[in-house]
Structure 1
């Protein structure tokens, strides 16, 4: 499904991050991360090319707005999983970002992301 695509995972809950990583690998993707913080995500983005991302809204050092803005500036598709929705500023600027409410099956996130990657 992901055909070797390098997918950034941003998730601060270790169990969820592991489950997402395993699911991405099972779908044929290569996991970049998981990153539990904005700083870690930026470090990964600085050193590795990614073609898609799965993001949790809240990381240990803040919300994902700066990460999402960087991905959007590079036209990198993303899907967001959250229990609270997108941060207001990001939601008003980019309402088309796919957002799924937790709990969500990782396969559903991957299906949506794979669809975006194939466009």
Structure 2
């Protein structure tokens, strides 16, 4: 297989990533073109990583990080509002967040792309979560019956700049709290101690108003069946704080983006 054939399936995704980094498609495509030119000159870079996709993004990142002005790149008039917020995060954390949350790379592959170790990658993702949260801070409802996990989540949410409306331990408490205070984000365990279901509580709430939801469970395989409906955002216990931070940022990022598109369409 030729180099062009190996990377062709990943070019549309690299253009998306580049747009999110630069703030507009024209600038993003210029960096993609530079990466492709470098690849043409030396196709051996495809052998330097675990897959052609990782190698392509790694090459792009080296070019991007070699230009000092990237720390100051700003969006133009064609940029979507949500992407404008992403562009305000400082460069390395922004890359880490987008690689994990938008492009779906594993921590190991994202670390390879950025030439850092996994602990550093996690620190960068956490930093991006704090910076993005400052732009899209919201009120959060936590549905969790285990006190220590609830405390950990509460501390993490507040460290990201959000406000915790309350912690619910049962289906009934969750519905009561949410209807009274209308959270902007819900973090929900699926199986609660009294036998009730956080999933059922959320589904009941979603009939009244729309809100992004992140489910946290010790049994993710029970809910990732490939059939609908299934949780859009799902975190396995025990969780890494960096993972929760990235997924919170991702959920709010795309929720704001969707609302903006709906307003423009109406």
* TM norm structure 1: 0.84
Structure 1 residue 51 and structure 2 residue 184: aligned? yes
Structure 1 residue 105 and structure 2 residue 240: aligned? yes
For 2:228 and 2:168, how far apart are their aligned partners in 1?
24
Dislocated runs of 4+, deviation >6 Å: none
For 1:33 and 1:101, how far apart are their aligned partners in 2?
22
Structure 1 residue 28 and structure 2 residue 150: aligned? no
Unaligned runs of 5+ in 1: none
Cα distance, 1:76 vs. partner? 1.0
More displaced stretch, 16-25 vs 65-74: 65-74
| Cross-structure match for 1:84 | 219
Cα distance, 1:97 vs. partner? 1.6
Please list, as runs of the form range in 1=range in 2, the aligned pairs for 1:66-85 lying within 5 A after superposition. Answer: 66-73=200-207, 74-85=209-220
| Cross-structure match for 1:2 | 133
For 2:168 and 2:226, how far apart are their aligned partners in 1?
22
Over 3 Å counting, the alpha-carbon distance change for 1:91 and 1:109 in structure 2 is: farther
Contact 1:55 1:79 in 2 (8 A): yes
Which structure's CA Rg is the greater one? 2
Aligned pairs, number = 118
CA RMSD of aligned residues (A): 2.3
* TM norm structure 2: 0.40
More displaced stretch, 45-54 vs 103-112: 103-112
For CA contacts below 8 A with separation 6 or more, give which structure has more relative contact order: 1
The structure that is helix-richer by fraction is 2
Deviations 1:23-53 (A, max 9, x none): 0000000012211111111111121021111
Cα distance, 1:84 vs. partner? 1.6
Cα distance, 1:96 vs. partner? 4.9
Question: SS in structure 2 opposite 1:110?
Answer: helix
Question: SS in structure 2 opposite 1:34?
Answer: strand
